[in-house]
Structures are given as C-alpha cells and as structure tokens.
Amino acid sequence: MPEYLLTLDFGTGTGRCLIFSITGELISHTSEEWKYNENWLPFGDNKVPQLDFDPDIFWKILCNLTKQAIKKSNINHQDIVAISSTSMRHGCVFLDKNGNELYAMPNVDARAFMEGMEMQGKYKEKIQQITGHMPPIIYVPARLAWIKNKKPEIYQKIDKFLMINDWILFRLTGQYVSEPSNACESMLLDVHSRKWSKELMELLDIPDTITPNLKESGSLIAEEIESDIAKQMGISAKIKVVVGGADTQCALLGTKTIKPGQSCAVAGTSTPFQIVTNKAQIDMNYRIWTGCHVVPNMWVIDSDAGETGHNLRWFKKIFKLDFPEIDKLAEQAPPGSGGFLANLGGSIANYGNLAEIGYGGFLIPLPIISTEIFQAEICRGLLENMAYIIKANAEQVEEISGLKVGEEDIALTGGQARSNIFATILTNVLGNPIKIFKIKEGTALGSAILASIGAGIYKNFDEAVNNMVHLEKTVKPDKILTKTYRKLFKKWKKIYNQFLKIR
C-alpha cells in the first residue's frame, strides 16, 4: 500500500497544503493568498504595521486547502500516514486556559515597537547573550507588554502562547507543544540549551507557565486526531501528528543542509542566508540572528538579505512583466547589465541598528545618448542586485561563524531556484557551485521529512534526507565571469554604502 505525507505551510502571504510520497515526490500542491486585519499606527514621520488574523478563518482556509489537495492528488486519504506543519518565523498565537485564541499575530506585526525598544534599552546585552535575537520589537515579550498596556482585560486571560506552526498542531491535537527552531524566534528560548529561559522570563516579568512543552522537531505527538477535525480536513482520523519546524530551517532540511559548514539561500519573499554550526555562536555586535536548527544539536547563523522576492514582485507588477519574461530579458543582457546598477531593497543584516535603512534606486551611466540601457539590462540588473546582497550576507555569516562559505555545500531553494539565469548569476557572484534540488518547495519538503521521521518511516535525519531529497543539478561558476563579478560586487557595495547615507 502506498504511503504519503501531508504538510501545512503557513506563509506570510499564503497558506499551502502539500502532499509528498515517502520518496520525496510532490504529489499535490494547493495554495491560497490570505489577508490580515490591518491597521497602521503613527510613529514620527512613518507608520508601524499592526496586523492580526482570525484563527477560525485561517484554519478554515487550511482545511479547505487540504481537501482540495487530496482531491487533486487522486489518492486515497487513508494512505496519508502522517502530518506536520511549518510556518513563518516570529508569528505567534495567544490562548486562554480553555484553548481559545485571544490574539493571533503574523511576523510582520510590529505594534509592539515601543515596548520592544524599551526592553532593548534595559536588557540589550542579556537578551542577545541568551537568545541570539535582536531587536525585541516583533517577539513574544514585546507583544505581551503591548497587550498588557493596551488590552489589560485580554492580558489577564492569557494562559499560553504558541508559534504558528505549533498552533496548527494544537488545532489538530489540543496539545501545547513547541520545538526549538521556532521557539527560539519567540525570544524566550535559551538558544544554547534549547530550553525555555527562566532567567529571561524573570527579568521581563513573564510567568513561565505561559510556555508550551518542548520537543525536538520530528517527534511524534499523536497517533490519531479527533474524528470531527479529520472530517473538517477530509483526512483519516488515524493519522500520525509530528512536530514540525520554522520555515527557513525546514528549507535547510529540504536541501540536505544539515551538517556544520553547509549553507543555503532560501530565496522567497525574503532571502535568509543560513549556515549550519554545531554550537550556538552569538554575535555581540547585534548584526545577525543565532537560531536552532530542526536537526537536534545543530544551530544556524542567519543573515537575512531582506525583502528581495517581495521587491521583485513589486517590479513585476509595476512593469507588467511575469517572472519568465524577466528571466528571458535578463539572459539577453551582458554581465554587469551594460553599466545599469540597481539597489532595489534588500540589505546586509544589521538588527542592532534598524536606522541603517536608506533609499534604494537605479543608477544609469551617462550620457543617456551613448548608453544602451533597455528592459534587458534593467531585468538583469535587478537579478544581479539580488545576487550581490546575498553575497554580502554570506560574507557576514562567514565572518561571524568562522566557517568558509563554499567549503561545504551551498544550496538554493525557494522561488528564485526556478530561475536558471539567477542561479547562473549567483554562482558566479559567489564564486562557488550551487546545488539546485528537484523540489523547489524546500520548506514544505523539510516539514514532510520531519513527518516521515516521526511516523517511523525513516529512523533518522540522514536516512530521511537521503531517500527524500534529490539533486536536480549543480550550477558551477565560470572563472572569467567570477573575476568580472568580483569587480562588479566591489562597485555595488560601494554604491550600497552611499545609499545608506541618504536619509
């Protein structure tokens, strides 16, 4: 009898359900964009986003996506043997003692900006030493402080919090369980011990009863689910529920990035560049995050290149080009884009200095009459900008970790892994081979791998990834192009630093 694995992926802008075979074949994929309850709070000359969502509405979307995915797959729902979850980092849900959701906040909710900055002013060094995460503005402690200040009647009811991937499993099982890869994004986990930090909770006046139980990713938490929940989703009640993980770390698992020195660029809405380490290394210059991998006793150093994919979608919308058209045009332009240089968002991570955000823009060589800058050069310039910003973050990861990026595997996953021209540009900018895998939805595949381990299909992480993760190709750099891009990168970085000075 064939066996299948189901994963629910709660992304920033989209909910997804994916079904995989136990050999890593993608059987079915459904998705739906969703919208948050949105408000903007005045903050000086700017505004701060206040976003939350209705858990019942979003759960209904996930249930409908599951039914659609099963129908689309033409498989027997009873052959789905295990389910797990993954989600955006930093998103959380607060619940009362009866398990009713009181507040549900995505990663982009920054309502607690002032509360977070107050915590940073008092406890910056201690927070960084324990959690490896700064600044506090989008984390659980600051959000709790905001609720306490602005909604005290709700604060009094809060009994537990869950990260969003854990909330999905709570809806399935009624169990309060979390895991280190996303628990560390709550800013209440001691990233060294992979346990809740009682010291930090005492410091921030947070009751330790608010935290769920901790289990490692890939742990089995239930052999079956309630029949009414199964009916809502169109799955069998006899399905094993397995602890999942944070989206980026799941993406690393879905690209075999599980051993020290291996690194991966997860090119989605943003592009975190992470390298795996065998210990928690803290940057006391506050530039990057240190997190827990979904693999037990492994950690990650994370330098996020910012909203690269989001900005590319902005360009697509403004210029009315789809992604294949952008790629096709970019292929027609030479390396260096005829002198056209873009600084369209993205950044070298520096979480200790959020003010280090200037303007973006385009630079075109003058005089215009003697240049040949058309759509092709602009499209290639945008992709080169993405590659440069990834390289800059890779260099920062290299500096902080003490590990040489490229000595072990470099993987590329996410939406941009589908672009041949982008992979070619990136490999030459980095000067290292890049591995592209058959399944581009690395995050969802990583979650399915966790499901396979918890269900007992595979006995450990090595066996699971060897059976479920399949290499499509290795893109190798050209020595001449690498030399060319080395010079272009230096020029881009100089311009990037100039843009930072514009306020």
State the residue for tokens 């600044």. 135
Lowest mean pLDDT among 184-193, 240-249, 490-499: 490-499
* Per-residue pLDDT at 357: 65
196, 190 contact by CB (below 8 A): yes
Task: Decide if 4-248 and 256-438+470-503 have a common fold.
Answer: yes
* Per-residue pLDDT at 382: 92
What is the average pLDDT across 471-477?
97
Beta strands in 131-235, from DSSP E residues, in sequence order: 160-163, 177-178, 189-190, 195-196, 213-214, 220-222
Residue 127 in this model has a pLDDT that exceeds 90: yes
Which candidate, 181, 250, 167, 262, places its Cα nearest to that of 441? 250
pLDDT tens track for 18-67: 999 999 999 999 999 999 999 887 776 677 889 999 999 999 999 999 99
Q: Is 231 helix (H, G, I), strand (E, B) or coil?
A: helix
Output DSSP code: residue 438: S
What is the average pLDDT across 337-364?
80
Q: Is 404 helix (H, G, I), strand (E, B) or coil?
A: coil
Output DSSP code: residue 114: H
* Per-residue pLDDT at 367: 77
What is the average pLDDT across 326-349?
88
* Per-residue pLDDT at 399: 94
Whole-model pTM above 0.85?
Answer: yes
CATH superfamily of 4-248: ATPase, nucleotide binding domain (3.30.420.40)
256-438+470-503 carries CATH number 1.20.1260.10: no
Mean pLDDT, the chain, rounded, equals 93
Domain ranges of the chain: 4-248, 256-438+470-503
- pLDDT tier, 503 (very low <50, low <70, confident <90, very high otherwise): low
192, 129 contact by CB (below 8 A): no
432 vs 374 pLDDT, higher one: 432
* Per-residue pLDDT at 249: 97
Distance CA(349)–CA(395), nearest Å, equals 11
* Per-residue pLDDT at 305: 85
